Chains A and B, each alone.
Chain A
Amino acid sequence: MVFNSLTFVVFFACVLALHALPLPWTTKKINLAVASYLFYAAWNPPFVILLWVSTVVDWYAAQGLVKAKRPTSRHAWMLLSVIANLGMLGYFKYGQFLLDNFTSLISAVGVAYHPAHYDIVLPVGISFYTFATMSYTLDVYLRRAAPAQNLLDYALFVTFFPHLVAGPIMRPTELVPQFAQPRRATGEQLRFGLALMTLGLFNKIVLADSFLASAAERVYDSDKIPGALDAWAATLAFSGQIFCDFAGYSTTAIGAALCLGFAMPDNFRFPYAAVGFSDFWRRWHITLSSWLRDYLYIPLGGNRHGARRTYAALMTTMLLGGLWHGANWTFVAWGGLHGVYLAAERVLRARFANYRPGPLAFVALGLLTYTLVNVTWVFFRAKTFGKAWIVLRGMAGQNDAAKPILATFSLFSVAAIVGGILLTHWLMRARTLESVIARAPAAAVSMIWALMAFAIIIAQGAGSAFIYFQF
């Protein structure tokens, strides 16, 4: 079920009530695990089996790793986990993509092949929980962590509903120890958790869905040719939409976990105030970028084997990171473009090692970063390269046949909301939300909280899915 639904409101109230009952800790953990399976089954009950497969495979792989005496056995157990998880991901997420590309390839050499359509539904959140379970086995393999002490704690780590379908991508060392001792939220944690959930849902329902999504759709999903204003407005709208959608989900998830007494890591740190692309990736989808760094970039050699190997590892990581987001070459292009940016930044940092920007140059570099990030969002949002090219040409003012697409209200909404997001990110770039709230007058916190909740109610969100569910 999605967080922005009545079903979740009732579900969450039941879970909170159950968790507050004076029951043994093991019973409470079983309750949480059952609730998490129900949460997942509410989309499509049979997909719970995949969750079990992923859980069981990695549980036994980690047990095997601990007992293995020889390096080859350790390798074999690790490979079992990687192959099982990536195999599942490949089958459900990339099957049609691989088939389409294979068909195109062989038809290019003159072989006519018309396979049946790969009619398989993508299980919600499969990219997230396969990465979470793989990190468990890989941490044990890399001797960074000991395996979980019991299957219940491990299964709850995989399925814990706040992070299950769209992250933050948890590591076992972050969550499993929290299940060792009884946990129940304090009154303060419960109230702050509810405030965080309101903030997250405000981002998703009000800003992303109600105001920004339609501006992006009108340009990206229509046949009309956009001029500079429409192309930029739609792309900026998407930059705001995807942030509010995904950061909104993460904030809601963090708040939900906190209401139950559990801590989850930050997933976003005001990314549109990033100065440079390494800074951007330390702020955007932190749990994915650090996962890719720890389990892909560093094993590929990282920056320990000379410049050429570093750039190869960087590009490979970013290209695969792009592909993780979706089975389409446009996502690969998005990742590749970020890889090129990161590589270029690395070159410039080496060449101008002593350069320290002044305040104005700092802001200018930040705006340049944001502008270039927006160029990458074009490939992320466009369904085809043709559409991406049309929008990019529009952004460059090169579409002669362009006609106005967006209404004045849309332009105004995008300017106000995206302008507000940018300003907030810059004001908050070296702060945390908690520190700002701690300094604010209590009445102001109350008022802002109530206004956000009111906006959620009167925006009448229709329970639309979060963008990242498809990944």
Chain B
Amino acid sequence: MPDRDARQTAADRPGVAQPVPMRPVPAQPWGRILLGTVLLLVLLVAGWEEYWRAYGVRPSIANTFGLWSMQRRRIDAGEGAATVLLGDSRLYFDIHLPVWERLDGRRPIQLSFEGTAPLPALEDLAADPKFTGRLLIGVAPDVFFSGFKFRAAAVGYAHKESPSQRIGQWLSMHFIEPYFAFDDPDYALQTVLARQPWLVRVHQRLPVRKLAMTESDRNTYLWSKLETDPEYRTIVRKIWLNHMQRWDDEPPPAAALKNEKEQIERTAQAVAKLRARGVKVLFVRMPSDGAYLEFENRKYPRARTWDALLAASGVPGIYFADYPELQGYELPEWSHIKHSDAERFTGELYKVIQRDFWGPNAPGVSAKASAAR
């Protein structure tokens, strides 16, 4: 039965003082309803959690802007002299922070972001006089030289993060994320539904699947499912091939070349600012393999990209192919080193850095010391 007249609104009372609103509660056994709701909800959530755990998913800290901001704030909170890792997913997944800390005595600050060129965060660090430490910049050619910035908005977010967002980040990483495996963007309802085999209408870039496990200080490593599940590994490889295909199609070469030059110039400018106040900067071309390496060599030849970057910035770099100790690791999906190998790789990379660039006996340091004497 229509009952609209049972509750009038301000729309029905023009030009008068509006009275205290009516807010009736429907006659229902609300105690029993709430109990039933809670029981059913617990069952549904438990079932959903169990489903994803059976798929192999385990709880992981979410790689959010808030988490990145927490690490970025360490520089403002007295750790300005720390070593900062800044790159894309390769530097992010392949450097094992506990190994680095064991060798160096200090845990580095991990500011890399997957699918994101380091330039926006690099420019942010260059503008921050509090940062005076050492900077290792990861170079994955397709991301770095295209300026791809999937999650670069983290930089702006870190500067504008509200108290409410900070509290929410803290609550989530302490009370939700460590306990629920399904709490991962790859298993969000809409993502799961969109992944179903719908009729193809538009050839879109395939979304990247879950690749890594993250800890509360952004120590991150490749998810073991990439090693143990050939089917999942194939899915991820197909995603990379899809991205390479689109990269091959667009943008047009002239625009791409212009963009590459711009990325290099802006990087050189930011690096110059950092070096002017004593920051030690080092580039590192992390390992890749298989079809990915072949694509990078073809699309971003070393002489045009890597060599040009070092020349423009006047900064040294480590190209994995030049060092035997940085080769021979297993990269299940061609782009990232498997977890156990990443621990070994971190140790080897650290040794190379200390031996050749940052250590007390590094050639550059020795030469400077000699010159000073």
- Chain A residues with CB under 8 Å of chain B are 1-2, 5-8, 10, 41-45, 139, 144-145, 171, 173-175, 177-178, 186-189, 191-192, 194-195, 206, 210-211, 254, 258, 263-266, 269, 281-283, 286-287, 289-291, 293-294, 298, 404-409, 411-413, 430-432, 434-435, 437-438, 440, 442-443, 445-447, 449-451, 453-455, 457-460, 462-463
Contact = CB atoms under 8 A, between A and B. Distances in A.
Contacts of A446: 32-33, 36-37, 40
The 6 A-B residue pairs whose C-beta atoms are closest, nearest first, are: A446-B36, A42-B164, A290-B10, A1-B164, A263-B23, A430-B2
A435 B36 contact: no
B26 A438 contact: yes
A406 B27 CA distance: 44
A189 B21 contact: no
Contact of A407 (B11, B28, B167, B194): B194
B33 A266 contact: no
Nearest to A297: B14
Contacts of B165: 5, 7, 463
A409 B194 contact: yes
Nearest to B48: A458
Contacts of B25: 186, 188-189, 192, 258, 434
B28 A406 contact: no
Contacts of B48: 454, 458
B20 A42 contact: no
Contact of B162 (A10, A44, A450, A459): A44
A438 B7 CA distance: 15
Interface of B: 2-4, 6-7, 9-34, 36-38, 40-41, 44-45, 48, 64, 162-165, 167-168, 171-172, 175-176, 182-183, 185, 187-190, 193-194, 196, 198-202, 204
B171 A7 contact: yes
30 contacts: A1-B168, A6-B171, A6-B176, A10-B171, A41-B163, A171-B18, A174-B19, A175-B20, A186-B25, A188-B30, A210-B190, A263-B23, A264-B23, A282-B9, A294-B14, A294-B15, A298-B14, A298-B15, A408-B199, A409-B193, A411-B201, A413-B193, A431-B4, A432-B4, A438-B26, A442-B28, A442-B29, A445-B33, A450-B41, A453-B41
B321 to A, nearest CB: 38
Contacts of B4: 269, 430-432
A193 to B, nearest CB: 9
B198 A412 contact: yes
Contacts of B13: 290
B201 A408 contact: yes
A286 B198 CA distance: 40
B154 to A, nearest CB: 13
B206 to A, nearest CB: 11
B14 to A, nearest CB: 6
A186 B25 CA distance: 10
B10 A173 contact: no
A188 B64 CA distance: 38
Contacts of B21: 174, 263-266
B200 A408 contact: yes
A175 B9 CA distance: 14
Contacts, number: 207
B135 to A, nearest CB: 29
A13 B147 CA distance: 44
Contacts of A206: 189
B163 A187 contact: no
Nearest to B27: A438
A291 B9 CA distance: 12
A41 B162 CA distance: 9
A5 B168 contact: yes
A263 B25 CA distance: 11
Contacts of A5: 164-165, 168
Contact of A289 (B11, B41, B162, B171): B11
Contact of B201 (A173, A282, A407, A435): A407
A291 B13 CA distance: 11
Contacts of B29: 442
Contacts of B162: 1, 42-44
Contacts of A171: 10, 17-18
Given A6-B171, A281-B11, A282-B12, 13 more contacts: A6-B172, A173-B19, A189-B25, A210-B189, A266-B9, A290-B9, A407-B202, A409-B194, A443-B36, A450-B41, A454-B41, A459-B190, A460-B183
B44 A454 contact: yes
Contacts of B11: 269, 281-283, 286, 289-290
A-side binding surface: helix, strand, loop or mixed?
A: helix
Contacts of A45: 163
Nearest to A43: B162
Contacts of B204: 407
A174 B17 CA distance: 8
B167 A435 contact: no
Given A211-B190, A442-B33, A265 B17 contact: no
B26 A450 contact: no
Nearest to A173: B17
Contacts of A281: 11
B297 to A, nearest CB: 32
B44 A173 contact: no
A41 B25 CA distance: 32
Most buried by A among B7, B165, B168, B187: B168
A404 B10 contact: no
A454 B45 contact: yes
B61 to A, nearest CB: 14
A7 B182 CA distance: 20
Most buried by A among B32, B37, B44, B201: B37
B163 A265 contact: no
Given A187-B30, A191-B30, A406 B36 contact: no
Contact of B10 (A254, A265, A455): A265
B10 A463 contact: no
Given A264-B21, A432-B4, A437 B26 contact: yes
A287 B10 contact: yes
B194 A254 contact: no
B18 A265 contact: yes
Given A174-B20, A435-B26, A445-B28, A2 B164 contact: yes
Contact of B167 (A7, A187, A189): A7
Nearest to B200: A408
A44 B79 CA distance: 26
Contacts of A458: 45, 48, 182, 187-189
A44 B29 CA distance: 42
Contacts of B3: 430-432, 435
Contacts of A6: 167-168, 171-172, 175-176
B252 to A, nearest CB: 15
Most buried by A among B10, B26, B175: B10
Contacts of A290: 9-11, 13-14, 18
B31 A191 contact: yes
B43 to A, nearest CB: 9
A333 B34 CA distance: 46
